[in-house]
Chains A and B, each alone.
Chain A
Amino acid sequence: MSATIIEFDRVNKVFPGHHAVRDLSFGIRRGEIVSIVGVTGCGKSTTFNLILGLFPPTDGTVRVQDHDPHSEFDWFRRRIAVVFQDARLLPWRTAVQNVKVGMKFAGIPKEHWDARARDWLSRLGLAGREDAYPHQLSGGQRQRVSLARAFAVDPEIILCDESFSALDEITATALRAEFVELVRANGKTGVVITHSLGEALTLGERILVMRPPGHLADDVAVPADPSPEELETLRERVLTAMTPEAPDSPGPVENTQKGAV
């Protein structure tokens, strides 16, 4: 099995009148937590949708677990789960039912639903709130249900699309830490799309910096326990790379196929 779980090779995506992604190449290894960061309109969401297989690239190759996520869309059932910016819970389902629905959609046998759903809600601190409807939960609680729904499917890859950006800072910080812990403890690969540099530095072991028009500007490795000075250096480097008029970072893009810089 290849160590590279997600691979973009000179990918272009062109929408009518808009070149969303241009010659994008990178690789993400199994077990990594990678943040994709960039300013609005830099192609993050298009990249996210390409990984998810919602549409094909115009040119180039997208491989996820050595499969084409678009043409082999159904193959990825139970292999990819998504945590969206808003929790996207079904308002007619309780918390536990919402987690079960994810498993139902993913084709997990029914006998596993209840125990697994309650287990994940409990792990995410929602024991006792299983039977609450979404409107009876706070924003943080709803996002916890959304995380439980994603993890309960037991996917290999978890994609987060600005999943923590709509929460208050205390809740978001706690959830980010839990997310990282859960991804590591369960051997998943995490890909986090974000426009927040702070979030990218907190979450990712590696940061892919994107810049309009949809290409990779830098590929930054984040040390396990960075010192304040290292963090500041990283912050400046990423900020510079994010800035549209900055030159692309020399070299790292090539290296991403093998690992982080």
Chain B
Amino acid sequence: MATTTVSTSPKPGSGHGAAGPVAERPSPWRRFRDPSLPILVAVLLGIWALTSRFTAEYTVPTIPSVAQEMWSILTSWESLRNLLTTLARVGVGLAAAFAVGLALGLAMGASSAAARYLLPLIRFVQGIPSLSWVIIAVIWFADVELRVWFVMVLVTLPGFALQTYDSYRAIPAELRDMARSFRPGRWALFREITLPAITPGVFTAWKVNLGLGIRMVLIAELVGATVGVGAQLLSAQQLFDMASVVSWTLLLAVCMLIIQGVVELLESWVLRYRPRVGLPSEASGRAATSVAAPRVEG
């Protein structure tokens, strides 16, 4: 490479000192220092305790009976297996839906012909009620795991596919032109432009689909499954065991919150390049840039 005589002293616009040092991101644990969450939990527990004193056990169970039931679930491998099985079904179903949805979304983004055929189909699938898929799965498949997997994939796949497609389309043309001016290979272009650009959308799809997946897996498990939280809920309903219903529900909800928290932590690490929302850019004091599009300015 040729040498040059250009000096390295500070120059106008090089802005030594113009843009401050990189600010530390706030701790992801800051939410736990917020007193509003314990206050909210305390209020809800208070209302629950009060209500349970004036109602029958099978309507609103007492807090101690639910706590005892939860403890027995967590300390019994047989019970815990139900919870883990349900979570595994969610994980496997979402992973499959993610893989297929990502591929479909990318195909639609890269090819308008693919989008013309696939987009109406995916939107049609998205419009089919979840319960219809459950009934179809029961008729089509004898195997319970296959039923659950089928329902999970069909219900969550449109979210992944459409979010990926939208994120792909939102990639700024300026970035593509910039990349193209260097004559990159396909893989380099995908790795450096497409993949990072669709990542925020993919995280959004995961967060939305996690909640949807948890809700769907219970419905799917209600039909034919002998293991899993759905099966345990059905059993508890038949016995009018409200403490058990609440316990399983709470455990699943807590698991869901933990998984959501892990996904958010992962998201904030992967997308750590993003300026914090609501704060001005460090360099110029102007509003924060969008995630996908670089700011066009001087």
Given contacts A105-B183, A167-B13, contact A137 B4 (CB under 8 A): no
Given contacts A88-B294, A125-B8, contact A132 B192 (CB under 8 A): no
Contact A185 B4 (CB under 8 A): yes
B58-66, B206-214, B281-289 - the one binding chain A: B281-289
Contact A124 B4 (CB under 8 A): no
User: Can you list, as one digit per residue, whether each of B170-206 has a CB less than 8 Å from chain A (1) or not (0)?
Assistant: 0000110111111111001100110010010000000
Contact B297 A135 (CB under 8 A): no
- A33: CB under 8 A from chain B? no
Contact B288 A135 (CB under 8 A): yes
Total interface residues on B, CB under 8 Å, equals 54
Other-chain residue from B2, B174, B180, B185 in contact with A107 (beta carbon distance below 8 A): B185
12 contacts between A and B (CB under 8 A): A73-B183, A90-B193, A125-B11, A135-B283, A136-B22, A165-B298, A171-B298, A175-B13, A181-B5, A185-B4, A186-B3, A187-B2
A20-28, A75-83, A216-224, A234-242 - the one binding chain B: A75-83
CB distance from A21 to the nearest CB of B (A): 19
Other-chain residue from B3, B22, B189, B294 in contact with A86 (beta carbon distance below 8 A): B294
Residues of B contacting A35 in the complex (Cβ-Cβ under 8 angstroms): none
Residues of B contacting A102 in the complex (Cβ-Cβ under 8 angstroms): 182
Contact B284 A133 (CB under 8 A): no
Contact B13 A136 (CB under 8 A): no
Contact A93 B182 (CB under 8 A): no
Closest to A52 in B: B181
Other-chain residue from A132, A138, A181, A185 in contact with B22 (beta carbon distance below 8 A): A132
Residues of B contacting A133 in the complex (Cβ-Cβ under 8 angstroms): 22, 273, 275
Residues of A contacting B253 in the complex (Cβ-Cβ under 8 angstroms): none
| Cα distance, A105 to B188, chains bound together (Å) | 6
Q: Which of B19-47 contact A (CB under 8 A)?
A: 19-20, 22
The secondary structure that dominates the B interface is: loop
Residues of A contacting B13 in the complex (Cβ-Cβ under 8 angstroms): 138-141, 143-144, 167-168, 170-172, 174-175
Which 5 A-B residue pairs are closest in the complex by CB-CB distance? A140-B13, A171-B13, A166-B298, A125-B14, A105-B182
Given contacts A135-B295, A186-B2, contact A77 B178 (CB under 8 A): no
- A89: CB under 8 A from chain B? yes
Given contacts A91-B291, A123-B4, A133-B273, contact A167 B298 (CB under 8 A): yes
Residues of B contacting A80 in the complex (Cβ-Cβ under 8 angstroms): 181
| Cα distance, A126 to B178, chains bound together (Å) | 21
CB distance from B58 to the nearest CB of A (A): 54
CB distance from A68 to the nearest CB of B (A): 14
| Cα distance, A174 to B271, chains bound together (Å) | 34
| Cα distance, A182 to B7, chains bound together (Å) | 11
- B277: CB under 8 A from chain A? no
Contact A166 B297 (CB under 8 A): yes
Other-chain residue from A136, A140, A154 in contact with B282 (beta carbon distance below 8 A): A136
Contact B6 A136 (CB under 8 A): no
- B278: CB under 8 A from chain A? no
Contact B185 A91 (CB under 8 A): no
Contact B175 A90 (CB under 8 A): yes
Specify which of B4, B189, B281 lies most central, judged by the most chain A CB atoms within 10 Å of its CB.
B4
| Cα distance, A132 to B214, chains bound together (Å) | 40
- A74: CB under 8 A from chain B? yes
Residues of B contacting A106 in the complex (Cβ-Cβ under 8 angstroms): 182-184
- B142: CB under 8 A from chain A? no
Residues of A contacting B271 in the complex (Cβ-Cβ under 8 angstroms): 92
Q: Which of B51-72 contact A (CB under 8 A)?
A: none
| Cα distance, A91 to B188, chains bound together (Å) | 16
Contact A126 B14 (CB under 8 A): yes
- A178: CB under 8 A from chain B? yes
- A40: CB under 8 A from chain B? no
Residues of B contacting A165 in the complex (Cβ-Cβ under 8 angstroms): 298
Contact B18 A86 (CB under 8 A): no
Other-chain residue from A138, A144, A154 in contact with B1 (beta carbon distance below 8 A): A154
| Cα distance, A91 to B274, chains bound together (Å) | 8
| Cα distance, A105 to B192, chains bound together (Å) | 9
CB distance from B297 to the nearest CB of A (A): 5
Contact B192 A104 (CB under 8 A): yes
- A233: CB under 8 A from chain B? no
Residues of B contacting A124 in the complex (Cβ-Cβ under 8 angstroms): 6, 11, 14
Specify which of B13, B175, B179, B196 lies most central, judged by the most chain A CB atoms within 10 Å of its CB.
B13
